[in-house]
Amino acid sequence: MNFSNELKDKQQVVEKILLKYMPENASPYDHVVYNAMKYSLMANGKRIRPILMMESYKICGGNNIREIEAFMAAMEMIHTYSLIHDDLPAMDNDDYRRGILTCHKKYGEDIAILAGDGLLNSAYEIMIDACLKDNKVKAKQKLTACKEIGKAAGVKGMIGGQVADVIQNDITMDVINYIHIHKTSAIIEASLTAGAVLANGSMQKVETFRKIGRCIGLAFQIQDDILDIVSTTEELGKQVGSDNKNGKNTYVTIKGIEESRQIVNELIEKALDSLNSFDSSEKEFLEEFIFYLRNRKK
């Protein structure tokens, strides 16, 4: 397998799905919000979450990607909405994301807020629509996937982590772990568990993917903390040193770079050990993808 080529192919699949599900405006009065939504959604993203969903779906026996494409699009919409809001002046106040101006720098703070809201609501609209088109058995599976995604994106997941990130002043390791697990890891976990659910995977398989997602999510965020120190704005596609600018404690500020890298490696090994419990010829790409996430430079 040529991993680089496979990854590009899968990213292109996701891009086509996003274009298919991106809502189009029919009014001259609100077209700017659609432009802002598309601007952020179709920026040069890695498409990690929909790819993870696709891979867990296949490993659990799913064989029709069309069955889950609405959920793949919805997950990337939710992720993009979170980035738009995370970059706002009231949050991290960043000027660049994915190598281009952040949404509020391009369209203004008011439209950026509404663009994020638009993507979030569009995500649930297309998932619900996918549920309504199926028979009761498949609809129940899809509704269960909706629940997984909704919880991960809500106050018990990403929003809860964001709140802790915003209001906590004396950030200890316990708080950092809470933020990372809820703000970053929850959505990555849900991408994997939703894929397993949509393939009608057993509860054991779903929970194994939850463990894999927790390890990947924590490793991903710690790697972000490291890159915020050692990378450049050009390579990372967003401003480096933002944590330091905002006075945030991170794994790196508390543990140091070398220990943080060791923790990333340990988490990746745990994820791979769990993945090896699956007897599937479809797991090779996900294995390589996990290594790719560990070694990424942006």
Mind giving me the DSSP string for 192-207? HHHHHHHTT--HHHHH
Half-sphere exposure of 1 toward its Cβ, with a 13 Å CA cutoff?
15
- For 174-206, the pLDDT digits (tens) are 999 999 999 999 999 999 999 999 999 999 999
Would you say residue 117 has pLDDT above 70? yes
CA 104 – CA 247 distance, rounded (Å) = 22
Would you say residue 112 has pLDDT above 90? yes
Q: Which of 26, 79, 29, 91 is nearest to 52 (CA)?
A: 79
Query: Rg for the chain (alpha carbons), in Å?
Result: 18
Inter-residue contact 161 to 181 (CB < 8 Å)? yes
Helix axes 31-41, 109-132, angle to 10 degrees: 80
pLDDT at 266: 96
pLDDT at 277: 94
CA 223 – CA 211 distance, rounded (Å) = 18
pLDDT at 297: 74
> Count of domains in the chain?
1
Inter-residue contact 241 to 224 (CB < 8 Å)? no
Whole-model pTM: value is 0.93
Higher pLDDT, 13 or 298: 13
Range of the domain at 62: 3-295
Q: Which residues pair with 100 in a beta bridge?
A: 97
Query: If you average pLDDT over residues 16-32, what whole number do you get?
Result: 92
Inter-residue contact 213 to 53 (CB < 8 Å)? no
- 232 burial type by CB count under 10 A (0-12 exposed, 13-18 middle, 19+ buried): exposed
Query: If you average pLDDT over residues 264-277, what whole number do you get?
Result: 96
Give the contacts of 138 (CB within 8 A, at least 6 positions apart): 67
Q: Specify the CATH number for the domain of residue 53.
A: 1.10.600.10
